Amino acid sequence: MKKVLNALVLAILLAAGLVAPASAQLAEGSKAPTFTTQAALAGKEMGFSLRNALRQGPVVLYFYPKAFTQGCTLEANAFAEAMPQFRAAGASVIGLSNDDIATLKRFSREECRDAFPVGVASRRLIADYYVALPNSDLASRTSFVIAPDGKIAMVYSNSDYRDHVTRTLAAVRSLSE
């Protein structure tokens, strides 16, 4: 119960902008850690492999703290609205949090509007990408654009969700220039 309460308080503080995110340690140009995870798209469980997704083109990988919190819901809505632009640029998008798969199935349907998958970010995955919030199992709001060669083309970490879509879309478009 205490762990749930702490996560809820942290999510509220994060949404209000009162807690700073952890800074992303993976540098642009470095190799992105590959992974597979459980994910959900349109309310259905699926597997997700970064390696397989990169065969189709660039991948926007965005970490968010907690499904159904205000900032995370608004960010998911914004990515859903921009999916036609990401697809036109040849990119796929996946959101990652440490929520369980049942929660992500609902979130994928209700807030991601069936437009892109959301996946389970294990502690290990959060650590591999250096996106852990201090003293928490939650991920910071950090977006990565990963080029088809597996290298990180862009990193943006900010607890305010509003610039993540525009920055990642611009980075994806710059890959094809």
**Local structure of 125: helix, strand or coil:** helix
22 is a domain residue: no
Domain containing residue 126: CATH number: 3.40.30.10
- Contacts (Cβ under 8 Å, ≥6 apart) of 94: 39, 48, 53, 59, 60, 61, 62, 116, 117, 118, 119
Q: What distance in Å separates the CA atoms of residue 170 and residue 132, rounded to the nearest whole number?
A: 25
55 is a domain residue: yes
151 is a domain residue: yes
99 is a domain residue: yes
> pTM (2 decimals)?
0.86
Q: What distance in Å separates the CA atoms of residue 130 and residue 36, rounded to the nearest whole number?
A: 17
23 is a domain residue: no
Q: Quick count: other Cβ atoms within 10 Å of Cβ 38?
A: 15
Q: How many domains does the chain have?
A: 1
51 is a domain residue: yes
Q: What distance in Å separates the CA atoms of residue 95 and residue 125, rounded to the nearest whole number?
A: 13
pLDDT tens for the chain, 177 residues long, are: 544 444 454 555 445 444 444 454 798 999 999 999 999 999 999 999 999 999 999 999 999 999 999 999 999 999 999 999 999 999 999 999 999 999 999 999 999 999 999 999 999 999 999 999 999 999 999 999 999 999 999 999 999 999 999 999 999 999 988
For 80-105, give the DSSP string.
HHHHHHHHHTT-EEEEEES--HHHHH
Nearest partner of 7 among 62, 71, 63, 65, judged by Cα: 65
47 is a domain residue: yes
Quote the domain boundaries for residue 6: 2-11+30-175
Q: What distance in Å separates the CA atoms of residue 22 and residue 30, rounded to the nearest whole number?
A: 18
24 is a domain residue: no
